[in-house]
């Protein structure tokens, strides 16, 4: 019998602390508020409290999704966590989530595909349900705690990034949910944007700490300004072709939430109305890997989410450069 991976419920969480552009400008000693509003669309963001970690954000989002689905944590078969701001270099953040959530029966692993990670993990979660006949529930989670890695001498990064988490609980349904996906990468940009101190390439030795400082997010070299608008159409087209669909067949688009202007341009390029998409970067800042599922969850909360039978498409890109698109039928 064909198993059909479906999205049973979503959940998201943002920390309580609201940080306005004016507050960030005070930390930077520079005026970036107007530029952010006009060019990116960000007016405020959320940063986690000193006692919080990435796993805490994920657990809060997961508890909301489980409650909506009426599923208990000990019923989860697999937890996949996408993050590039893990609690530790090792062990995985997913095992911390398993422990805090009380999901004692779940297998666990992490995915680090930067900001394309959650959509990549979603693909893996769907395929696990397709191939594992006894699995009932897969928790696909994304967590972002980039406020811990900001450099307030760098106005190119410190004003963009925020903290948050989002999850989707997957299960096996009677009707098809997961339709198709497409992954891409351009590895020549691996040294353009990332956290380059703290790993095997540049360990936190006294010498490296003195020269480079602690781990922090860095823009080392520029991306082409049109990178996303060049690659996203072919990325999405690749997934849609597999599903036998066109851009017009998609009812809701959820993109990486870094830049509202990019999303507006993208919808124009594919000839679709802006009403088919939803954004949250204006109030939550850029939340990396989980931002696409956070956008979906926020749309649902506002009564703007997908209805049964409608088609949704996730499209994300991140450092590396990595990219992922996934097409689903909402059930």
User: Residue 294 belongs to a domain with what CATH number?
Assistant: 3.40.47.10
pLDDT at 226: 83
pLDDT at 262: 95
- Of 175, 196, 211, the last residue of a domain is 175
pLDDT at 272: 98
pLDDT at 1: 58
Rounded to the nearest 5°, which phi and psi values hold at 3?
A: -95, 135
Question: Any idea which of 75-79, 156-160, 324-328 has the lowest mean pLDDT?
Answer: 156-160
Q: Are residues 159 and 17 in the same domain?
A: yes
Instruction: Please report whether residue 316 resides in a domain.
Output: yes
Instruction: Please report whether residue 110 resides in a domain.
Output: yes
Which residues make beta-bridge pairs with 124?
none
Q: What is the pLDDT of residues 100-115, one digit of tens each?
A: 999 999 999 999 999 9
Percent of the chain's residues with pLDDT above 90: 94
**Is the pTM higher than 0.85?**
yes
* In the predicted structure, residue 145 carries a pLDDT above the cut 90: yes
Q: What is the pLDDT of residues 51-102, one digit of tens each?
A: 999 999 999 999 999 999 999 999 999 999 999 999 999 999 999 999 999 9
- Of 175, 206, 233, the last residue of a domain is 175
Q: Are residues 59 and 153 in the same domain?
A: yes
Widest CA span in the chain: 62
CA dist 117 and 110 (Å) reads 9
Instruction: Please report whether residue 193 resides in a domain.
Output: no
Determine the structural domain holding residue 324 and report its residue range. 180-187+221-329
Question: Any idea which of 20-24, 151-155, 195-199, 212-216 has the lowest mean pLDDT?
Answer: 151-155
Q: Are residues 38 and 142 in the same domain?
A: yes
* In the predicted structure, residue 3 carries a pLDDT above the cut 90: no
**Residue 43: pLDDT band by 50, 70, 90 thresholds?**
very high
pLDDT at 33: 94
CA dist 197 and 25 (Å) reads 25
pLDDT at 222: 84
CA dist 175 and 331 (Å) reads 7
Which residues make beta-bridge pairs with 7?
170
In whole numbers, what is the pLDDT of the chain averaged over residues?
96
CA dist 170 and 166 (Å) reads 13
Give the tokens for residue 216: 């922090």
Q: What is the pLDDT of residues 165-177, one digit of tens each?
A: 999 999 999 899 9
**Residue 2: pLDDT band by 50, 70, 90 thresholds?**
confident
* In the predicted structure, residue 190 carries a pLDDT above the cut 90: yes
> How many domains would you assign to the chain?
2
Q: Are residues 62 and 152 in the same domain?
A: yes
Quickly count: other Cβ atoms within 10 Å of residue 8's Cβ. 21
């Amino acid at each position: 019998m064909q198993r059909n991976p479906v999205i049973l419920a979503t959940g998201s969480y943002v920390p309580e602390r609201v940080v306005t552009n004016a507050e960030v400008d005070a930390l930077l000693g520079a005026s970036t508020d107007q530029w952010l509003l006009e060019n990116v669309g960000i007016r405020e963001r959320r940063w986690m409290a000193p006692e919080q970690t990435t796993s805490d954000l994920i657990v809060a989002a997961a508890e909301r999704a489980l409650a909506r689905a009426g599923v208990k944590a000990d019923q989860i078969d697999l937890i996949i966590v996408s993050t590039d701001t893990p609690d530790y270099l090792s062990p995985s953040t997913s095992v911390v989530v398993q422990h805090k959530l009380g999901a004692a029966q779940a297998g666990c692993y992490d995915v680090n595909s930067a900001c394309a990670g959650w959509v990549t993990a979603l693909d893996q979660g769907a395929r696990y349900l397709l191939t594992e006949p006894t699995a009932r529930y897969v928790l696909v989670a994304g967590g972002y705690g980039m406020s811990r890695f900001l450099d307030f001498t760098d106005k190119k990064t410190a004003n963009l990034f925020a903290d948050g988490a989002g999850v989707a609980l997957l299960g096996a349904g009677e009707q098809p949910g997961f339709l198709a996906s497409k992954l891409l990468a351009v590895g020549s940009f691996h040294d353009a944007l990332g956290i380059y101190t703290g790993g095997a390439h540049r360990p936190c030795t006294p010498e490296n700490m003195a020269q480079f400082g602690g781990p922090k997010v860095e823009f080392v070299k520029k991306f082409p300004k049109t990178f996303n608008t060049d690659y996203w159409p072919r990325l999405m087209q690749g997934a849609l072709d597999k599903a036998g669909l066109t851009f017009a067949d998609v009812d809701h688009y959820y993109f990486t939430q870094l830049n509202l202007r990019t999303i507006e341009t993208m919808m124009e390029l594919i000839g679709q109305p802006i009403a088919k998409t939803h954004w949250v970067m204006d109030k939550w800042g850029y939340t990396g890997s989980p931002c696409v599922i956070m956008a979906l969850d926020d749309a649902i909360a506002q009564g703007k989410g997908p209805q049964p039978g409608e088609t949704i498409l996730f499209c994300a890109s991140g450092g590396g450069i990595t990219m992922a698109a996934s097409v689903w039928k909402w059930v």
